[in-house]
């Protein structure tokens, strides 16, 4: 009997292949077959908590291996380091030793993140500023693969970070810091801790989970009421529809082509591409987290909501309370507040400011900026010395800007992301001053609210130019076309030729801006509907999704972060 085909089939399933990482995306058939197998086994063992946790931990490690290859060693490394350091922090009798252990934990996690995600960025920036030709090769990346006889899948001329590294490093950092603060007891069982770090639904794109919220669930009995089952199914179907029917269609039909070469499109088309991207990135990312929340709920675990209709925000501050909530709260709790928050400045505040200003001088190639920045620092220092209130305002705004700049850099090793973060920081600072003098700040009339939402959305959408553009040149080209070649005369022709895009975009915004009460009513009707109606809804949505996916499986945007 020839066992070759069977062996090749099993090898296809269980061994990582460079071209197969798309197969375990939530919008692929392969993933749902994989998840069906998970549920089949889970239905047998779910009552045994220890076995359940070990099973899901091993499944999660396999999941990460299949989408990232032997970079899963990094996940194992991070798990081992923070497990033992967490124990060290908790059981240390001296404050200095606790501080030492938490410092090691944060330093190791940031070192791994910086090496794999930012080393190329810093070296390339250095070469551009000083005209050097320093070579850079990802030796650890090559070693991880070659040690196992697998060719390194990335272009040696350009580093690609391991999938999800920004998410699981932030998750493990929060674990160690919370133990140091006395907010959390360490996880005793290393496999349970590994399960917390690697839980596959949210591992690579969030939401970022706090140990204080997730770890207690490891030791609870499995509970899934009829209402929760319907809710989980609702989250999954809504997420798939957002991703495939809305996000992917907007990208393929219009957005990607304009961003690939803005100069070939009119200013109006560039504006519509940016507006379309704002809806695309929301539908793509929130669609993923909707599916993750639904999958986790089917397995008996509750994840926090990560989006709250962000384009209903009336100001930039409110937007960041509604968008990527797990990251926004993480940055607030572990960066903004430790820097001093809205109360004071700290040594870290001023050190961060000097480092950021030095980086701007270096990357700009304008040494004269040193004198401008130096003069501004002297002026503000004098004002702060004379007027204590000015010092507090300066300190808190520096803390805010540093947080947003680093939040931008978290998204990717690119100056476009730094600019995007800086623009959002400026928006937050301007709003802080504006709300003190605005005559409409406390007005709740619908016309005023519509105006506030429109202004906020316009600003956020403008910043997306830098977020989406692959280079500064593309961002500049897009702004040039918008400013110099808007061409109102082409609007009818563009709308008529790309009407499916515009219809989809308008419907997306209408659904987004519908009242919460109407959305809650739809959700509850689906949850309480007869099982046959649920099956019918699944068949219809899956059929429609399949029709939209004939071009193949598209990656989720935040997989690159």
Determine, yes or no, domain membership for 62.
yes
Query: Could you tell me if 28 and 22 are in contact, meaning their C-beta atoms sit under 8 angstroms apart?
Result: yes
Query: Could you tell me if 218 and 196 are in contact, meaning their C-beta atoms sit under 8 angstroms apart?
Result: yes
**pLDDT above 70: residue 80:** yes
Query: Could you tell me if 184 and 45 are in contact, meaning their C-beta atoms sit under 8 angstroms apart?
Result: no
Give residue 291's pLDDT band: very low, low, confident or very high (50, 70, 90).
Answer: very high
- The mean pLDDT of 237-260, rounded to a whole number, is 94
Q: What is the largest CA-CA distance in the chain?
A: 90
Percent of the chain with pLDDT over 70: 87
| 437-453 tens-digit pLDDT | 888 888 888 999 999 99
- How many beta carbons lie within 10 A of that of residue 256, not counting itself? 16
Q: In this predicted structure, what is the pLDDT of residue 155? A: 54
* Cα(183)–Cα(333) distance, integer angstroms: 13
| 82-115 tens-digit pLDDT | 999 999 999 998 999 999 999 999 999 999 888 8
- Averaged pLDDT score across all residues of the chain: 86
* Cα(512)–Cα(232) distance, integer angstroms: 20
- Polymer length of the chain: 561
- How many beta carbons lie within 10 A of that of residue 19, not counting itself? 7
- What residues have CB less than 8 Å from 428, skipping those under 6 apart? 316, 317, 320, 400, 404
What is the model's pTM? 0.91
Percent of the chain with pLDDT over 90: 54
* Cα(106)–Cα(99) distance, integer angstroms: 11
- How many beta carbons lie within 10 A of that of residue 344, not counting itself? 13
Q: Is the dihedral of CA 467, 470, 472, 475 positive or negative?
A: negative
Q: In this predicted structure, what is the pLDDT of residue 157? A: 47
Dihedral of the CA atoms 534, 539, 540, 542 (nearest 10)?
Answer: 120
Q: In this predicted structure, what is the pLDDT of residue 77? A: 92
Closest CA to 153 of 163, 167, 142, 164: 142
Per DSSP, the three-state class of 150 is coil
Least confident of 141-145, 465-469, 493-497: 141-145
| 145-198 tens-digit pLDDT | 665 556 665 554 455 678 888 899 999 999 999 999 998 899 999 999 999 999
Q: Answer with the residue of higher pLDDT: 229 or 552.
A: 229
Q: Hey, what are 450's tokens?
A: 């519509």
Q: In this predicted structure, what is the pLDDT of residue 370? A: 76
**pLDDT above 80: residue 353:** no
Q: In this predicted structure, what is the pLDDT of residue 143? A: 67
Q: In this predicted structure, what is the pLDDT of residue 149? A: 58
- The mean pLDDT of 306-310, rounded to a whole number, is 95
Determine, yes or no, domain membership for 417.
no
Give residue 137's pLDDT band: very low, low, confident or very high (50, 70, 90).
Answer: low
What are the phi and psi torsion angles at 387 (to 5°)? -120, 105
| 529-546 tens-digit pLDDT | 999 999 999 999 988 888
Give residue 522's pLDDT band: very low, low, confident or very high (50, 70, 90).
Answer: very high
Determine, yes or no, domain membership for 85.
yes
| 262-278 tens-digit pLDDT | 999 999 999 999 999 99
| 477-515 tens-digit pLDDT | 999 999 998 888 899 999 999 999 999 999 999 999 999
Q: Hey, what are 51's tokens?
A: 């076995």
Q: Hey, what are 228's tokens?
A: 């929760």
Q: In this predicted structure, what is the pLDDT of residue 371? A: 80
Domain extent for 64: 47-221
Query: Could you tell me if 475 and 466 are in contact, meaning their C-beta atoms sit under 8 angstroms apart?
Result: yes
Query: Could you tell me if 277 and 246 are in contact, meaning their C-beta atoms sit under 8 angstroms apart?
Result: no
Is residue 446 classed exposed, middle or buried when 0-12, 13-18 and 19+ CB atoms within 10 A define those classes?
Answer: exposed
CA angle 110, 113, 118 (to 5 degrees): 115
Give the count of domains, the chain.
1
Dihedral of the CA atoms 305, 529, 504, 496 (nearest 10)?
Answer: -170
| 17-69 tens-digit pLDDT | 666 666 778 888 888 988 999 999 999 999 999 999 999 999 999 999 888 87
| 377-427 tens-digit pLDDT | 787 777 777 777 767 777 788 888 889 988 988 888 788 898 899 999 999
- The mean pLDDT of 274-289, rounded to a whole number, is 96
Determine, yes or no, domain membership for 155.
yes
Determine, yes or no, domain membership for 53.
yes
Closest CA to 326 of 410, 427, 231: 410
Determine, yes or no, domain membership for 534.
no
Closest CA to 276 of 498, 42, 436: 498
| 196-213 tens-digit pLDDT | 999 999 988 889 999 889
Determine, yes or no, domain membership for 95.
yes
Determine, yes or no, domain membership for 299.
no
Give residue 14's pLDDT band: very low, low, confident or very high (50, 70, 90).
Answer: low
* Cα(384)–Cα(345) distance, integer angstroms: 12
Q: In this predicted structure, what is the pLDDT of residue 5? A: 62
Q: In this predicted structure, what is the pLDDT of residue 243? A: 95
Q: In this predicted structure, what is the pLDDT of residue 283? A: 96
């Amino acid at each position: 009997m020839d066992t070759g085909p069977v062996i090749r089939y099993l090898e296809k399933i269980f061994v990582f292949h460079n071209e197969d990482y798309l197969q375990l995306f939530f919008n692929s058939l392969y993933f749902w077959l994989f998840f069906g197998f998970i549920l089949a086994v889970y239905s047998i063992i779910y009552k045994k908590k220890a076995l359940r946790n070990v099973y899901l931990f091993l499944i999660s490690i396999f999941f990460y291996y299949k989408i990232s290859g032997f970079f899963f060693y990094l996940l194992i490394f991070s798990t081992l380091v923070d497990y033992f350091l967490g124990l060290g922090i908790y059981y240390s009798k001296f404050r200095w030793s606790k501080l030492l252990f938490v410092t090691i934990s944060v330093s190791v996690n940031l070192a791994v993140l910086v090496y794999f995600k930012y080393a190329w960025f810093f070296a390339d920036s250095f070469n551009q500023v000083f005209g050097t030709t320093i070579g850079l090769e990802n030796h650890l990346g090559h070693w991880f693969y070659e040690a196992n006889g697998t060719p390194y899948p990335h272009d040696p001329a350009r580093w690609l970070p391991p999938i999800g590294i920004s998410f699981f490093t932030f998750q493990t950092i929060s674990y160690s810091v919370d133990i140091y603060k006395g907010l959390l007891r360490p996880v005793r069982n290393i496999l349970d801790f590994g399960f917390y770090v690697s839980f596959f639904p949210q591992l690579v794109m969030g939401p970022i989970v706090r140990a204080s919220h997730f770890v207690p669930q490891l030791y609870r009995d499995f509970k899934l009421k009829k209402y929760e089952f319907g809710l989980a199914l609702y989250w999954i179907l809504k997420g798939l529809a957002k991703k495939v029917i809305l996000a992917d269609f907007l990208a393929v039909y219009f957005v990607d082509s304009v961003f690939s070469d803005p100069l070939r499109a009119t200013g109006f088309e560039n504006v519509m591409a940016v507006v379309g991207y704002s809806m695309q990135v929301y539908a793509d990312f929130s669609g993923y987290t909707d599916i993750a929340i639904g999958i986790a709920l089917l397995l008996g675990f509750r994840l926090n909501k990560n989006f709250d209709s962000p384009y209903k925000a009336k100001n930039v501050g409110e937007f960041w309370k509604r968008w990527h909530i797990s990251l926004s709260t993480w940055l607030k709790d572990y960066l903004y507040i430790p820097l001093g928050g809205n109360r004071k400045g700290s040594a870290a505040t001023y050190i961060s400011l000097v480092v950021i200003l030095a980086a701007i001088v270096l990357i700009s190639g304008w040494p004269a900026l040193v004198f401008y920045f130096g003069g501004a620092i002297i002026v503000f220092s004098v004002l702060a010395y004379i007027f204590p209130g000015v010092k507090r305002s300066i300190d808190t705004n520096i803390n805010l800007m540093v947080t947003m700049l680093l939040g931008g850099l978290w998204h990717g090793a690119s100056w476009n992301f730094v600019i995007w973060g800086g623009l959002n920081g400026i928006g937050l600072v301007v709003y802080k001053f504006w709300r003190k003098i605005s005559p409409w700040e406390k007005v709740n009339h619908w016309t005023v609210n519509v105006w506030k939402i429109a202004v906020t959305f316009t600003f956020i959408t403008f910043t997306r130019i830098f977020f989406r553009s692959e280079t500064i040149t593309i961002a500049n080209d897009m702004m040039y076309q918008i400013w110099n070649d808007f061409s109102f005369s082409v609007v009818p022709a563009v709308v008529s030729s790309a009407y499916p895009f515009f219809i989809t975009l308008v419907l997306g915004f209408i659904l987004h801006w519908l009242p919460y009460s109407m959305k809650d009513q739809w959700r509850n009707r689906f949850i309480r509907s007869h099982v046959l109606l649920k099956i019918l809804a699944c068949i219809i949505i899956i059929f429609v999704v399949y029709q939209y996916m004939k071009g193949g499986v598209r990656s989720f945007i935040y997989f690159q972060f």
